Chain A
Amino acid sequence: MSGSFLRKIRIIVSIIFFIPTTFLFADIFSLVPPSLSNGIVYLQFVPSVLKFAVLLSFSSFGFIIVLALTILFGRVYCSLICPLGTLQDFVNWIRGKIKKRNKRRFEFLKEQKLLRISLLLIPIIVFVFGSSLAINLLDPYSIYGKFAGNYFRPIMVGLNNIAAFVSDRFKLYAVYGYDLKAFILIPFIITTALFVFVVVMSWIKGRLYCNTVCPVGTLLGYVSKFSLFKIVIKNEECLSCGICAKECRANCIDSDNKTIDTSRCVMCFDCLTNCPTNGIVYDFSFRKQQSNNLTIEQSKRDFILKSSLFLFSLSTIAAQVKKKIIVTKPSTKPVFRKNAVSPPGSVSIEKFNVKCTACHLCVSACPTQVLQPSFLEYGFLGMLQPRMDNIASFCNFECKICSDVCPTGAILPIDLEKKKLTQIGKAIFVKDNCIVNTQKTDCGACSEHCPTKAVHMVPFEGKLVIPETRDDYCIGCGACEYACPTKPYKAIYVEGNRIHQIAKKNVEQKKLEEKINYKEEFPF
């Protein structure tokens, strides 16, 4: 197979993966059903590993397929499947279009082995100690997800709303407007910073992120050292012209010494395409394997140890910060939420913090937009993970889409009937803020919206009725908090359960058995 053919296949396949994955995060019309969504992200490495760790089922074998592909063909995950990889290739391509003169711009760079291994080990260590924060900031799929959700989704909304505006102008009502119900600034800034970091690196040095920072890249890189097919330099045909090195976005070809650092090769096949002879080929790796020098010096050990210590100490700081967060501000009476509310299926905040990589696929998929990125509501270690934002919206009683789409198993698949009894938090009534109490007029918006009537109305002064909450029936969906009209602060709010509980089914009332005589006269 010729190099340019391989390159074309690479480009086509990467687009085939890239577009549907991107669309998932911008799908404001809920066009993609969860089953298809699962299929689209099936091969994403980190989510699949995490889901496998929870479920141990075929539904999460994606990462094993990726490992097998790597053993056979090298780091094809990085060039074909990884959306952040494709995005970087796109950035490169744009740069090539803009700066045509400076097209062949890459050069061989020395491997930053210490950095790579540290950044592979730190997420693993932090994960073992119960947080996915490092993964959530480094996993390429999750970074891309955050980026796509934060940027492409609003763009989609904008386009839709322009179309809706035009259609409404002509009274066609063919396209409906879409409201983004919340904009959470700090997660947006963090996402933007991550994105700029990756884009700048790729603008300057090609796949530098993939070859120094990305833990998936490092892991698959070292696996690919043993792969069956490899890019190899044929000494007898090579002219030592160095074109391949200048084309190599992975900066891994040392044309002077005629060696390739396979661990960093992302299988873009650009070198093959541009080689004037057949001096560089994609072939069986007949050559003797180079020994992997993985011995870590004392200084490197120190570095890893210290950086993990640093992260642990940060988590302690976060534990202090968490208690001070005010989610809803005081009306006449200040209201504090001690725990954020995690989505049904996440079982407990601790488990959620371990498994969620904050890819925000659920944020994009949530039809009511109640799932929004958090900042420190879950604590430092849970940064950016989605939480239930009952100011923006509330959890639909009949819906469990987040649990269906979650690729990591952070939100476990949950049966709808079970979801309807899963108590993710409890409603707390603040009488001092309630309109019925302060203004002596009827309201009851909270009770109206309550799907289980955990919030019901009881006699108050005169003919008035006032809300009363019943923990047994409450599932913490947040409809009451959302509906509560007290401004700017709520009179009812949901306090998150650190460990989700099971609510009781509201069966206190027997089935209505009214005998109606349809022939009877009207009562008026």
Chain B
Amino acid sequence: MNRRDFFRKSLQAGLLTGAAAAFPGIYGNYFEKTSRILPAAFDLVAVKGGEADVMFDEAIKALGGMKNFVKQNQKVCLKPNVGWDVSPERAGNTNPKLVSRVIKHCFDAGAKEVLVFDHTCDNWRRCYSNSGIEKAVKDAGGKMISGDTENYYQDVSVKSGKRLTSAKVHEVLLDSDVFINMPILKSHSSTRLTICMKNLMGVVWDRGYWHSNDLHQCIADYSTYRKPDLNIVDAYYVMKRNGPRGVSVDDVTTMKSQIVSADMVAADAAAAKLFGMEPDDISYIKIAGAMGVGKKDLSSLNIKRIIM
């Protein structure tokens, strides 16, 4: 980081902290918690060739360890993709082995508790259990929370949203100090690909509104509201077609990859390339890039590439 960058980032952080105080309501102090400047050496880490959990060990090491993201006694909210009632090898949901390892890192960094939820598409109990994620979370000492009833979701306003100006967001996310987004890279029938930003559709209640009000714009709009502190893109098993649910294991290829970044747009752009698509072909990445959510242009980033 050069001197100019340092000034710019400090200024941005200051503005954000100041702006946070201007927001009324219970969640007014919210941005304060999240607007940390990442001291990480890299903007993005890409890993390839190992097991999902081992690749994460490498990635987080490159980012200076989980301690850079989770501080002593903090509450961590983890949002994997648990949308579908399918088994792990169908690649419809985030790899449970990876979820378990991430939780372990959080606790090692001193997290007070790790709460995990998703607003599932299929029946939530079946998704939680058949994805293997519920067991993985419990075994790692985390807690799996229901996202199935509306009263868990609180109204928030999305200030910079163009089409999505308000949303109902799960209280576990709103109450947490650290938010870790853990999507799985998949083909997607309506948005072409689902990665980081698309995964955040699982933290809100009314997805129908997004679908009926310019889906891509809404995805980009929401990503301005609460940026995850860390995004971990699981690309171990990748559903190359018939996503997001998939028809059978025949749709899945084993890519043994992973992308980790604090910047959702960068992570989505890199994951799209990994999948074999251009970021600009996915409208929400393009829109979010233009809205300044993150950096879509990978050549401007400091990327750590690890091949195991």
Contacts and interface: CB of A to CB of B under 8 A. Distances in A.
Interface of A: 30, 164-165, 168, 171, 173, 176-179, 367-368, 396-399, 435, 439, 441-445, 447-453, 456-457, 463, 465, 483, 485-487, 506, 509-512, 514, 516, 518-519, 521-524
Nearest to B245: A451
A518 B298 contact: no
A176 B250 contact: no
B126 A399 contact: yes
The 6 closest A-B pairs by CB, nearest first: A444-B190, A485-B208, A177-B149, A518-B49, A176-B146, A447-B189
20 contacts: A173-B115, A173-B143, A176-B149, A177-B148, A368-B123, A396-B123, A396-B126, A439-B212, A443-B190, A444-B190, A447-B190, A448-B189, A449-B245, A485-B212, A512-B252, A516-B254, A518-B256, A522-B305, A524-B270, A524-B274
B122 interface: yes
Nearest to A523: B273
A510 B250 CA distance: 7
A402 to B, nearest CB: 14
Interface of B is mostly: mixed
Contacts of B123: 367-368, 396, 399
A396 B130 CA distance: 13
B247 A448 contact: no
A510 B149 CA distance: 39
Q: Which of A449, A486, A524 counts the most B-chain CB atoms under 10 A from its CB?
A: A524
Contacts of B151: 165, 168, 177
Given A171-B175, A445-B208, A485-B208, A456 B152 contact: no
B240 A512 contact: yes
B253 interface: yes
Given A442-B190, A445-B211, A512-B253, 14 more contacts: A168-B171, A176-B145, A368-B123, A398-B85, A442-B214, A445-B207, A448-B188, A448-B189, A512-B250, A516-B254, A518-B256, A522-B273, A523-B274, A524-B298
A457 B190 contact: yes
Contacts of A519: 49, 307
Nearest to A512: B253
Contacts of B247: 451-453, 506, 509
Contacts of B244: 448
Nearest to A513: B253
Given A178-B149, A453-B242, A518-B307, A398 B130 contact: yes
A463 B240 CA distance: 19
Nearest to A176: B146
Nearest to A438: B212
Given A173-B143, A448-B244, A511-B250, A521 B305 contact: yes
User: Which of A398, A442, A487 has most B Cβ within 10 Å?
Assistant: A442
B216 interface: yes
Given A173-B115, A485-B211, A397 B85 contact: yes
B283 interface: yes
